Structure 1
């Protein structure tokens, strides 16, 4: 008897046992099938069905999730299989709803901490797990924090207090020299990792730099002396030829920066909102923040993030990057040395 025939007979035996109400026997037979043919979509769906009928919700969930994940890689599925997949999705949603209701009775939502509540959303499949995924350099052992509490940074209050003066310098630049604002993503610069990006060479997202890739733009800093002085107390992540970047970041009405990840996870990105004329938001991982003028935002840009200006006028923030507070002085020196030399390594 060939392997194909053997599998066919096993699947028929599983069906026969299911029709007879022998849910455990059918499941055992299907596990034998899947041990030999783990990508058998029909058997995965049937395993979910017989486990559901037998009251084994965990096993049903496992079978249905595996089937849905596999089906995502298989186009043009027959109508009968698509019906099975819809049944799997419905039952998974029902399981999650029932589980959530039981958890509400165990720990009422109003009594939960924010992080525990997020863990439940992940557990119930309401949101994915967002982790650091830097595109160039990963430093291990750093906490996975989407938005940081700005109260833990002793320089934030001073920056926020200087908002009116920084706004005044920005407005002067805007009035005198719009041409100094360049597209944030320029051809050959490598931002966002792609040269076909819809914001490439597009002033919908533009920048006026005080520092760019670690190089101070003296003329621009001279035009913004208060802003430049305010940054002297900030732990900018200096690495020769790499960072920091400090800029007035402009997002025109309706402009959308699509989901992406930053380059290195040894820094944090800071926004001091200066002009926020209406609804405009920044999503980092599972959290969405709405900018408020004069209120600092600090986040990890190596976690997937996106932004959009939904207002009818332009949004502008002062954007700069700082060392992550978890890095020691020695680690900062080591990383700065590496980042400063990384291009020369790749070119040699």
Structure 2
């Protein structure tokens, strides 16, 4: 039988090395406590010569660089320490403390960097309220104040389209005509609101699809709707009652796909209700909102941008980018919703997309309804 135990000389060689590391660790902590950064630097360098990936030694090195005013280099060492520390299965209490220190130092460094950046940009003329919104968004992304979101359609992805959360207003100029008709549309809505039984839960149970809870909204009147058009077909008994609403949409490039779109509806979100984060099905269209009955404390988020609805002020957004809504007031919120083609989709491409869904239907594959 072969004895695989390490030989005595090897064990003896390991023990002084471990003792040396522990001694250097102690020296480093004591040096840091008395703000002796020369001694701390010597201990950190000695530890890193033994193991360049030692997490605690990387923290010590970061502290030395921070004390010298080289915050950018310090951040790199703190980041390396945190990365190495994550790989340790059972960190010691000392290591956990050093990693917490590194994380705090990194957060403080990030704030210091951001403040310096914003102060410097302000001195050079940047004003987040009036300067380029795209540049302001890029600054938020760079400093971690904003997360980057992408189109994630659940059914059909058309490549090459801009990744835009809220559509730039100049590309949907016809929205001004819809806004101009807001008082007349509101009057038609008021007549609909006088008949609460017309509203039905927006999330319906479909017999040809598996039932899912939809975050508690399936069959729930907390989010309800009255459709003027639904899945590409007019609902005449409602549309005929809303001629001003339909006339206001005459110039809108409605997304027409037989059996699927457009959908035009009055959407009501009850007081206290929330629509959880979700993504739409196809990225070739925009969803439009015209707020009509909007109490305070109602908000809507698309990707990294949150907005408040204001009565009569419309917008268009990409619903394949994660979005959510909430009515934090004590009153119901009601808006007009409809879907349009994205301006980048050509007439030929619109025809081809219609042909695609017609082919799917003819095959019996049963693509999902699009909704809004």
Give the TM-score category using the shorter length. 0.7 to 0.9
Q: Which runs of 5+ in 2 are unaligned?
A: 29-39, 368-372
Whether the 8 Å CA contact 1:67–1:85 is kept in 2: the answer is no
Give the 3 Å change call, closer, same or farther, for CA 9–285 of structure 1 in structure 2: farther
Q: CA RMSD in A?
A: 3.7
Aligned pair count reads 330
Tell me which residue corresponds to 1:57: 74
Separation in 2, partners of 1:148, 1:97: 31
Task: Please say which of residues 96-105 and 230-239 is displaced more in the overlay.
Answer: 96-105
Separation in 2, partners of 1:217, 1:325: 27
Q: What is the aligned counterpart of 2:280 among 248, 257, 262?
A: 262
Q: Which structure has the larger Rg over C-alpha atoms? A: 2
Separation in 2, partners of 1:94, 1:250: 44
Separation in 2, partners of 1:165, 1:9: 87
Task: Please say which of residues 180-189 and 241-250 is displaced more in the overlay.
Answer: 180-189
What's the secondary structure of 2:288's corresponding residue?
strand
Q: Deviations over 1:264-310 (max 9, x none)?
A: 21111100011113221111122111111111111112222111112
Q: Deviations over 1:163-194 (max 9, x none)?
A: 11111111111213x22211111223899x95
Separation in 2, partners of 1:45, 1:117: 37
Tell me which residue corresponds to 1:286: 304
Tell me which residue corresponds to 1:39: none
What's the secondary structure of 1:119's corresponding residue?
helix
Q: Deviations over 1:62-101 (max 9, x none)?
A: 4256469x58xx9x97755553443233122111112113
Separation in 1, partners of 2:162, 2:156: 16
Separation in 1, partners of 2:18, 2:167: 53
Question: What TM-score do the two structures reach when normalised by structure 1?
Answer: 0.80
Q: Which runs of 5+ in 1 are unaligned?
A: 34-42
Whether the 8 Å CA contact 1:64–1:92 is kept in 2: the answer is no
Tell me which residue corresponds to 1:99: 113
Give the 3 Å change call, closer, same or farther, for CA 12–316 of structure 1 in structure 2: farther
Q: What is the CA-CA distance between 1:322 and the residue it aligns to? A: 0.8
Q: Deviations over 1:233-260 (max 9, x none)?
A: 2111111222222110101111111222
Give the 3 Å change call, closer, same or farther, for CA 214–24 of structure 1 in structure 2: farther
Asked if 1:127 is matched to 2:156, the reply is no
Separation in 2, partners of 1:106, 1:308: 37
What's the secondary structure of 1:233's corresponding residue?
coil
Q: What is the aligned counterpart of 1:167 among 174, 180, 186?
A: 186
What's the secondary structure of 1:108's corresponding residue?
helix
Tell me which residue corresponds to 1:250: 268
Asked if 1:320 is matched to 2:338, the reply is yes
Tell me which residue corresponds to 2:33: none
Separation in 1, partners of 2:279, 2:319: 6
Q: What is the CA-CA distance between 1:320 and the residue it aligns to? A: 0.8
Q: What is the aligned counterpart of 1:111 among 126, 134, 143?
A: 126
Whether the 8 Å CA contact 1:244–1:320 is kept in 2: the answer is yes
Task: Please say which of residues 227-236 and 111-120 is displaced more in the overlay.
Answer: 111-120
Whether the 8 Å CA contact 1:45–1:63 is kept in 2: the answer is no
Give the 3 Å change call, closer, same or farther, for CA 27–214 of structure 1 in structure 2: farther
Tell me which residue corresponds to 2:247: 229
Q: What is the aligned counterpart of 2:350 among 332, 337, 340?
A: 332
Separation in 1, partners of 2:22, 2:358: 64
What's the secondary structure of 2:249's corresponding residue?
helix
Tell me which residue corresponds to 1:297: 315
